[in-house]
Amino acid sequence: MNRSTRPPQAKSAQRRGGTKPAVARRESAASRKARAERIAGRLAVAYPTARCSLDFASPFQLLLATILSAQCTDKRVNAVTGPLFRRWAEPADFAAARQRDVEEMIRTTGFFRAKAKSLIGCCRALVERHGGEVPRSLAALVTLPGVGRKTANVVLGSAFGEASGVVVDTHVGRISRRLGLTRHADAVKAERDLVAVIPRDQWIAYSHRLIEHGRTICTARKPRCETCPLADLCPKVGVV
């Protein structure tokens, strides 16, 4: 009987297109870094004006807007934050606000009870620990209620221009996996991979540009690979 030397699961993976991720895994670290630098360069040309799509007039406003953006579109957040910041303009105002009043103002962003609690708790911490000012360090920011690495990186990058890391949102994580720059769905692990290959002076812009790329070309369901400026650099991991 003629037997194959490959295990059955390998054959099944090949039939399903499962060998594509293996292409990325075989790539050397040096080759991946060089390819990532070319990707960052192409994105800079394709999206030279990409920026944070949340509206804000201060680091404080961006901090709260980013907390609200969890599981919500930036467009919806922007519709809410205008009236929100007119009613409560400073951290001390939020710190003294009643939770049910904040909930009512942010209801349409989803998870409004948890978000209201985070907004009020964050502002109380700003007042009590930082004199009402937004701290400029990752270590200090992540101790605030409702603030994780993603939110801290957004604030430091877009409000202060400090490259503390790469913001990994849904678009950035999905497309970075598709590009073979990370295998991880976990945002912290994906960020660790990205900061190792993306030039530090591109960390802030990389996220903004990849988000725009994900909205216009590299969409989740039907990526427009035929018009993609990264097509020759992309192993198309997971693309059927």
Report whether CATH 1.10.340.30 matches the domain 59-159.
Answer: yes
DSSP 222: S
Instruction: State the pTM of this model.
Output: 0.85
pLDDT at 110: 96
Cβ contacts of residue 218 below 8 Å, gap of 6+?
A: 175, 178, 224, 228, 230
Residue 13 has pLDDT above 60, yes or no: no
* Band (240; pLDDT cuts 50, 70, 90): confident
Instruction: Indicate the DSSP class of residue 49.
Output: T
H or E element: which one contains 126?
helix 112-130
Question: At 239, is the pLDDT very low, low, confident or very high (cuts 50, 70, 90)?
Answer: confident
| Tokens 């049910």 found at | 100
List where CATH 1.10.340.30 sits in the chain: 59-159
Which pLDDT value is given to residue 1? 42
Question: pLDDT for 65-85, tens place per residue?
Answer: 999 999 999 999 999 999 999
Mind spelling out the 3-state secondary structure of 72-93? CCHHHHHHHHHHHHHHCCCHHH
pLDDT-derived band of residue 25, with 50, 70 and 90 as boundaries?
A: low
User: Which active-site residues does the annotation give?
Assistant: 150, 169
DSSP 70: T
- Sort 110 into a burial class: Cβ within 10 Å, 0-12 / 13-18 / 19+: middle
Architecture category of domain 23-51+166-233 in CATH: Orthogonal Bundle (1.10)
Predicted confidence band at 15 (pLDDT cuts at 50, 70, 90)? very low
Domain with CATH 1.10.1670.10 in the chain: 23-51+166-233
Element (H, E) at 29: helix 29-46
What's the one-letter identity of residue 150? K
